Amino acid sequence: MTLSAQAKGLMAGGLEAKPAKGGPTEFAITGIPPASSDPTDDYFAKMQKYFEDLNNFTKKTLGLGDRAGVTGVGLTGDIINIMKKAAAKAGIVEPEMPASIKAMKEEREARSASEPEQEPGRGMKGTSLITLYMPEEQGGGQVEMWIDNKGLDKLADLSSETVKSSLVDLMKGDDKATAANAAIDNGIFGKAFAENAAWHPEFRTPKARMAYFDPSAEPGETPLFMIQSKNQAGYVSQHAGDLAASLINLLKAAKD
C-alpha cells in the first residue's frame, strides 16, 4: 500500500510540534477529501477532519476565535494531550486507527528502531508551550505561553480570575523581577531555552514577560507559567490576562 505524504504525516506525528527540531508548527488542516470506499482513505479523511476540528477547538478555547491578529497556534509537550482530552469531552474524538494502518505503523517503527530520534532534553520534557503565530503586517514573530509541567495539576485547581489578576510583569526591572528572571534562566524554562538556542534565540530575549507564581513560592523560584514575546510586547500587555484565564479554563475542562 502506498500512502500520500500527507497521510504519512498524519501517521507520523499528528499534533506534536517539536521546537528543538526547528520550531512548533500549526496543525490547521484544510482540503478534506471526499469519503472513499477504501478504509484507509476513510481513516485519513477522518483524521484530517479531526485535526481541523481540534484546531478550531484550540483557537476557541484560547479565546482566539474572534480575535484578529493570530494566524495559527502550535502546541508542544504535555499540553497536547490536555487539549485533546478537553476536546474529547466536547465531542471531538480522535478516529480509531484501522488494524491495517496500525500494523504498518508498528512495522515502520520496528524498522527505524536502530535509528531512534533524538530524545527531547530535560527542559522540553519538563515544559509545555503554546505558541501564537502573528501576521507579518502586525510585526510577525510569536507569543509564547510557557508552562512548567509540574504545576499543571495545581494550576487546574486555581480560579481563572485569581490567576488573571495575579500576573507579575517581569520587565519592570525591580529586584523581584530581576531575581525571577534569573531563576527562569537557571531553571526548567532556561533549560528549554538552551535546548532551542540554535533555532529560537528569541526565547531568552523577550520584550514582554508576564508570569504567575505559586503564592507559597519562596523568593527566587520560577513561575508556574509565563507569557512572553520579543516582537509582540503590546499584544502581551493587552491580552496576557485573558490568555492566562483561558489556560486555566482549559486545564479545568480536561480535568477528570
Mean pLDDT per 10-residue segment, the chain (256 residues): 50 46 42 55 92 94 78 94 98 94 88 74 96 92 98 97 97 93 97 97 98 90 97 96 97 95
Q: Which domain holds residue 145?
A: 1-256
| 22 half-sphere exposure, CB direction, 13 A CA radius | 2
E strand residue ranges, the chain: 72-76, 127-133, 142-148, 168-169, 208-212, 225-229
| pLDDT of amino acid 204 | 97
| pLDDT of amino acid 16 | 43
- Quote the cell numbers at residue 122: 530535560
* pTM listed for this prediction: 0.84
| pLDDT of amino acid 66 | 61
Between CA 157 and CA 149 the distance in angstroms is 14
| pLDDT of amino acid 71 | 86
Identity at 201, one-letter amino acid code: P
| pLDDT of amino acid 109 | 83
Number of domains the chain is built from? 1
Whether 182 contacts 220, CB under 8 Å: yes
User: What strands, in cross-sheet order, belong to the sheet with 168-169?
Assistant: 72-76, 127-133, 142-148, 225-229, 208-212, 168-169
Identity at 121, one-letter amino acid code: G
Identity at 26, one-letter amino acid code: E
| pLDDT of amino acid 38 | 67
